Structure 1
Amino acid sequence: MSISNEKDLVERAKSGDLEAFEQLIIGCQKKVFNIAFRMVGNYDDANELAQEVFIKAFRSIKNFKGDSSFSTWIYRITANVCLDELRKRKNRTIVSLDQDIELNDGDVKRQMPDNAPTPDMEAESNEVKSIVNESIQQLPDDYKSMIILRDIQGFSYDEISKIVNCPEGTVKSRINRARQALKKILQAKKELFDDEFVK
């Protein structure tokens, strides 16, 4: 999309033109979902967060100054929405699946649907990718977002700087620290795997 075309669509969207807004998000829908999915690690949650991003973007488009591209602005919203969700999750009460549910007339066992992947889904999954994704989920939220934006989504340092709203030097430093932290997690998993294999 050309810059002039984007500016025209932004101006129309600012005046409430939903069709113009929809044209703006067509090019970034997939990446918004991918960022959300990598951040929260769940397809349904990522879908909900992506919808939240688009609603938030539409409601606040009047505040979009055009200092960056529209896509950079919406990716910043995505990162913030995901980080907010991750913070909320840390504050939620966790209930054990083994814990009975107390009712007036006695306790009942908690029943959960089986969400195990089907055999064909398992066949499709790549073990290395799975280990890396699990390891990324173990990173602190700031590091996780840096790895996702740079190494998975392929944003440039400049783009990430605009998305997370901090200097490029800070971005490079955080990415370096995030990669070191990820490397340590992966090495620990490899050592654990090697020990199991030797046994």
Structure 2
Amino acid sequence: MSSDMEQYYKENGRKVFLYLMTLCGNADTAEELTQETFYRALRSVNRFKGESSVYTWLCSIARKAWLEELRKRRKHTGEEISELVEDTSPRPDEEAESSDSRLRLLKRIHSLPETEKEIVLLRATQELSFREIGEIFGKTENWARVTYYRAKQKLM
């Protein structure tokens, strides 16, 4: 592994893993996809022009890896995306009102179309700017802002 990639991994490995966890909800899958992300990044590091942050570049690679994983799963099992999300149903002993409302919100977020779900999660869990979100999707900052606003409206 090149010294640049080692540094990228040290600085961004955990954040990329957490980003993938927000997408797939499964630690094993997120770990595999994190490894795949850095493998792909290593293969294409010479094409990275520095037009975005390294983290944004890695997230765009991770997102493509996740979407490929979803396509493979649907092809083999016929599952829908919503069935791939980890079950977040409350345990019987979890009756606190705040956890119940958080659960309802998470379910609503996971019922959004994939792009809107990703944007909401990137904004809420990774605290990315609209510019960074736009870069991940290969779109503009304004597109990210409008899509986030529309997703938020659907959640209300």
TM-score tier after normalising by the smaller chain length: 0.7 to 0.9
Distance 1:85 1:129, change over 3 A: farther
1:55 aligns with 2:34: no
Establish whether residue 90 from structure 1 lines up as the match of residue 74 from structure 2: yes
**Which string of whole-angstrom CA distances, capped at 9 and with x for unpartnered residues, describes residues 105-139 of structure 1?**
xxxxxxxxxxxxx99xxxxxx44444333332222
* Partner SS state of residue 92, structure 1: helix
Q: Secondary structure at the match of 2:23?
A: helix
Cα contact 1:37–1:43 (8 A) shared by 2: yes
Is the CA contact (8 Å cut-off) linking 2:130 and 2:144 kept in structure 1?
Answer: yes
1:137-193: CA deviations, max 9, x gaps? Answer: 22211111111111221100111111111011111111112222233xxxxxxxxxx
Which structure: greater helix fraction?
Answer: 2
Flag the structure with more relative contact order, 1 or 2, with Cα contacts below 8 A and sequence separation at least 6. 2
Q: Identity of counterpart residues, as a percentage? A: 35
Structure ID, larger Rg: 1
**5+ unaligned residues in a row in structure 1: which ranges?**
1-16, 96-117, 120-125, 184-199
Bigger drift between 163-172 and 82-91 goes to 82-91
Residue type of the alignment partner of 1:45: T
Q: Is the aligned partner of 1:23 residue 2:3?
A: no
Uncovered stretches (5+) of structure 2, i.e. residues with no partner: 80-90, 93-98
Distance 1:38 1:26 in 2: 20
Matched to 1:181, the amino acid is K
One-letter amino acid of the counterpart of residue 61, structure 1? V
Aligned length: 146
Q: Is the 8 A contact 2:16 2:59 kept in 1?
A: yes
Q: Normalising by structure 1, what TM-score? A: 0.63
**1: CA distance, partners of 2:111 / 2:76:** 18
- Over the aligned positions, Cα root-mean-square deviation in angstroms equals 3.0
2:142 match: 169
Q: Which amino acid aligns with 1:23?
A: Q
Residues 79 and 145 in structure 1, CA contact (< 8 A), matched pair in contact too: no
Structure 1 CA distance for aligned equivalents of residues 69 and 103 of structure 2: 22
